[in-house]
Structure 1
Amino acid sequence: MTGNAHRREGAPACPRPGGVRLSAVTLCLMLASSAVAARADAPEDTLAAYAVHIHQTPMQSWGPGAGIYLGQGAFITAAHVAGHTWWTRPKVVSNGEAFPTRTLREGSFDGIDVTVLGVEEKLLPLRLRLRRMTLCAKPPIPGQDVVTVVPGAIVHSRILAPERLPANLRQFNTVIRDVANTGDSGSGVFDAQLRCLLGIMSRKISVARRDAVGSRQGVKDIAKYFVPAATIAAFLPPELNL
């Protein structure tokens, strides 16, 4: 077996200390550490851990919704995913483990479409308890690179200028394109560079399809709206110190 048989894939092969000067060995080890750190800092590694499923009780017919861990035992999702929590008794599900919740603040689909759920922090696995999510301080700008995050899937997209929407829909002024593959309601929308939370996905924006004579022929999804971080920051319960 050669000396490189156990070398980690993707890391530079370092010479043995006995055959080179110490400075060369040190430089090689620094390069290897940088390569490992770059992989560890990928969005898939840092953001995926915040994504959870939200289950109503019993499970909603349309399947599990999504949510994001904020820290201090608090999770955020779209209000319509959690439903009227006194009735739906939502659970947070992470890696197949379900946790009962209490409602910290409930929004509504027609108002602010986010709900904040709390889980006893001591019940959560350490990999969640140690995490804190930061809300983005700056509003999204058209063309900005973002990622949507749900359990098991991270998808890149871009912020769409609200001027690209029909005039009667421009009140939904924080939107992304790439409707088909990005995260659904309750998923997190993150700044791809800063990895802060830009918002929580709320709904699709759709327009009517019409034929040559103006008859309606179904609908076309053109964007997805997310509740922005500034709205979330104002909505969060004051007892959360995030």
Structure 2
Amino acid sequence: MTLWQPACAQGADDTLLPYAVSIHQTPMQSWGPGAGIYLGKGLFITAAHVAGRSWLTRPKIAIAGSEYPTRVIKEGSFEGTDLTLLSVEEELLPARLRLRRNSICTDPPSPGQQVVTIVPGSAVRSHILAPDRLPIGTRGRFSTVIADVARTGNSGSGVFDVKHKCLLGIMSRKISQSFSRPGTRKTETRDIAKYFVPASEIAAFLPAHLQL
């Protein structure tokens, strides 16, 4: 069921849309562009697996139909910290973006907290799920999750706190659970949440000399 949202709330969420960009590998990945978020000072953050192994994929930032070459500042991994930090020469970027600075949340996410996921052209509301809603094997490492798996932004998209408009995390992956239907031997898999790399890990990932 889609929850109704007041027009003023949707309009407020739309103010975050300029921070969302697309990530293009070279050549373009077969599944389409990934997402990323502008931090400021020419820096962009995305999921490591979206950018891929940068020496091979040569990721570019795409904004409004234009592509910008990047320099890889720091690269994580899907198995470790699923983040990659990219840089574009500031003078190449549109003026409307150069002037922006994105704040990273300092408070940890809490169950029930209202969030909005941001990708180019789309802002979708969701909320933080409590870790006890997850399969036991995922509760330690993947404890920062949101609901509304089908509607919200995918890997590399930004998760923002609705109230403070700060960056709460970067979307990393779906969390699924397998179950057997009663009376049958069939096993089905259902997506139950989406894990995002939290703001605390983003802040720790940024090199000290590039702290915003």
Q: Quick one: distance in 2 between partners of 1:218 and 1:62? A: 24
Aligned pairs (5 A) from 1:100-115: 100-115=69-84
Offset of residue 187 of structure 1: 0.2
- 3-state SS of 1:137 partner: coil
Offset of residue 130 of structure 1: 0.2
TM-aligned CA distance change 1:212 to 1:78, over 3 Å: same
| Residue range with higher mean Cα deviation, 192-201 or 207-216 | 207-216
Q: Which residue pairs with 2:4 in the alignment?
A: none
110, 119, 133: which one pairs with 1:150?
119
Deviations 1:1-51 (A, max 9, x none): xxxxxxxxxxxxxxxxxxxxxxxxxxxxxxxxxxxxx96x93344200000
Offset of residue 240 of structure 1: 1.0
Q: Which residue pairs with 1:96 in the alignment?
A: 65
Q: Which residue pairs with 1:46 in the alignment?
A: 15
Aligned pairs (5 A) from 1:43-192: 43-171=12-140, 172-192=142-162
Deviations 1:47-80 (A, max 9, x none): 0000000000000011100000000100000000
TM superposition score normalised by structure 1? 0.81
Contact in 2 for aligned 1:208/1:216 (Cα 8 Å) = no
Q: Which residue pairs with 1:195 in the alignment?
A: 165
Q: Give the aligned CA root-mean-square deviation in angstroms.
A: 1.7
**Structure number having the greater strand percentage:** 2
Q: What code does the residue aligned with 1:194 have?
A: H
TM superposition score normalised by structure 2? 0.93
Q: Which runs of 5+ in 2 are unaligned?
A: 1-6
- 3-state SS of 1:112 partner: coil
Q: Quick one: distance in 2 between partners of 1:44 and 1:173? A: 25
Deviations 1:124-161 (A, max 9, x none): 01111000000001000000000000001100000000
Q: What code does the residue aligned with 1:77 have?
A: T
Greater RCO, 1 or 2 (C-alpha within 8 Å, sep 6+)? 2
- 3-state SS of 1:42 partner: helix
Q: Quick one: distance in 2 between partners of 1:104 and 1:81? A: 15
Q: Quick one: distance in 1 between partners of 2:87 and 2:64? A: 18
Contact in 1 for aligned 2:13/2:116 (Cα 8 Å) = no
User: After TM superposition, what 4+ stretches of structure 1 lie above 6 angstroms from structure 2?
Assistant: none
Q: What code does the residue aligned with 2:211 have?
A: N
Offset of residue 166 of structure 1: 1.5
Task: Give the fraction of aligned pairs with identical amino acids, expressed as a percent.
Answer: 64
- 3-state SS of 1:143 partner: coil
Contact in 1 for aligned 2:14/2:123 (Cα 8 Å) = no
Q: Which runs of 5+ in 1 are unaligned?
A: 1-37
Larger Rg: 1
Contact in 2 for aligned 1:77/1:186 (Cα 8 Å) = yes
| Residue range with higher mean Cα deviation, 214-223 or 51-60 | 214-223
